[in-house]
Amino acid sequence: MSPTRQAPGVRSEVGPLRTVLLHRPGAELRRLTPRNNDALLFDGIPWVDRAQEEHDAFAALLRGRGVEVLLLADLLTETLQVPAARDRAVELTCADLRLGPQLRRWLREHLSSLAAEDLAEVLVAGLRNDETGGQRTLVTALMAEDDFVIDPLPNLLFTRDSSVWVGDRPVVTSLAMPARKRETQLTGLVYAFHPRFAGVEPLYGWDREHVEGGDVLALAEGVLAVGVGERTTPAGLERLAGTVFAAGLARTIVAVPVDQQRATMHLDTICTMVDTDAVLMYPNIAHRLSARVVRPRDGDPSELEVGAPQHFLDAAADAMGITELRQIDTGLDPVTAEREQWDDGNNTLALAPKVAVAYERNTETNEQLEAAGIEVLAIRGSELGSGRGGPRCMSCPIARDPL
Ligand SMILES: NC(=O)NCCC[C@H](N)C(=O)O
């Protein structure tokens, strides 16, 4: 099946997926060491060649299902061919306060001299002190040789978090962890300058209160669920709600407090949709996941009305206007459930209602999904998973067909 281009727009979690943004992991993963992997939010040191093979297989599976796969590095390179985008990229990168004026002068000149493809590579893979061409400045002299002058972005792999489409507008998010902050400069540039997105109006949040795409689920047309926890803050949710309500992109948001810990860093690590009326949810917390419904007060998006706490499934079903949002009960014992949740067993990517991509290693969760009538497209992820993200985290849908 050959993919056809579709106007961008995402109005559900499970509408047939038409266009998706992925990032093939590259040199930025080769920067991970046992000394920096915690700060760079990886739980190990991935075997990069194998991670690339796993990612290529993921992309091939999507293409085989008729999905158009856009790769972030290609889009970034094409974006950096636009002079205004390149100037902005250099300006943003050189604003880092660790640089000092002398090094900044050199870096500005160096980055400006690079071809678009090489500039894209440096912005993603970073630049080490010993790669500054022997610059002798106070800063380079006092930094360790292997310190980064520009930090690498290994988590760019998780394209879900650095932007999220709400209806026909991309929201460029604001990432909470220092290691990820620069990612949204790149997605922001792509949406602002790439000819593919001419005519779309991005909504910006990258210098604002924190919101991450992994916390945002499009439950139904005009209805979002937004996790609030380690990454998305209450103020970030308030900003997002006000913005999407004012733009007429949503009418209801179901706010879901999520435990502030690494295992549950985003709502999509514990809950993803696999059908128009069904979610896969981490059983160990399913019974206590609560939510509050947020709406504009009397139609005024700057004033938010916040409902009383309810069970998440009830609040979501009510907001979606359906009688029940089904939880697919994996029936796993708590230990197996905890192990598979840690390995992103609940982090599925729906390609259509009842069709979901999942990591093959979560055999018990996948068996239960299949028993519940969901077609599971299993992918390998032993290396990709060391960054603690699954198929949903590694994909940013840009177009889904309406349901
Ligand atoms: N939506 C997601 O859950 N994304 C996974 C992000 C993993 C990344 N290593 C992080 O800690 O931010």
Each residue's pLDDT expressed in tens, for the chain with a length of 403 residues: 444 578 999 999 999 999 999 999 999 999 999 999 999 999 999 999 999 999 999 999 999 999 999 999 999 999 999 999 999 999 999 999 899 999 999 999 999 999 999 999 999 999 999 999 888 899 999 999 999 999 999 999 999 999 999 999 999 999 999 999 999 999 999 999 999 999 999 997 767 899 999 999 999 999 999 999 999 999 999 999 999 999 999 999 999 999 888 888 999 999 999 999 999 999 898 889 999 999 999 989 889 999 999 999 999 999 999 999 999 978 789 999 999 899 999 999 999 999 999 999 999 999 999 999 999 999 999 999 999 999 999 999 999 999 9
Which atom in ligand 1 lies closest to the alpha carbon of residue 262?
A: 11
List the catalytic residues.
393
Asked if residue 80 belongs to a domain, the reply is no
Ligand 1 center–CA 158 separation, angstroms:
6
The pick from 161, 184, 212, 232 for probing ligand 1's pocket by mutation, whose C-beta has the most ligand atoms within 8 angstroms, reads 161
Asked if residue 200 belongs to a domain, the reply is yes
Q: Is the CB of 390 under 6 A from ligand 1?
A: no
Which atom in ligand 1 lies closest to the alpha carbon of residue 179?
A: 12
Asked if residue 82 belongs to a domain, the reply is no
Asked if residue 81 belongs to a domain, the reply is no
Q: Which domain holds residue 359?
A: 56-71+154-400
Asked if residue 25 belongs to a domain, the reply is no
Q: Whose CA is nearest to atom 10 of ligand 1?
A: 41
pTM > 0.90: yes
Asked if residue 182 belongs to a domain, the reply is yes
Asked if residue 289 belongs to a domain, the reply is yes
Query: Which residues are CB-contacts of 185 (< 8 A; sequence separation ≥ 6)?
Result: 89, 92, 93, 206
Number of domains in the chain: 1
The pick from 393, 395, 396 for probing ligand 1's pocket by mutation, whose C-beta has the most ligand atoms within 8 angstroms, reads 393
The pick from 266, 359, 395 for probing ligand 1's pocket by mutation, whose C-beta has the most ligand atoms within 8 angstroms, reads 266
What ipTM goes with this model? 0.98
Which atom in ligand 1 lies closest to the alpha carbon of residue 154?
A: 9
Q: Whose CA is nearest to atom 6 of ligand 1?
A: 389
Which atom in ligand 1 lies closest to the alpha carbon of residue 180?
A: 12
Ligand 1 center–CA 112 separation, angstroms:
31
CATH number of the domain at 385, please. Answer: 3.75.10.10
Asked if residue 237 belongs to a domain, the reply is yes
Q: Is the CB of 388 under 6 A from ligand 1?
A: yes
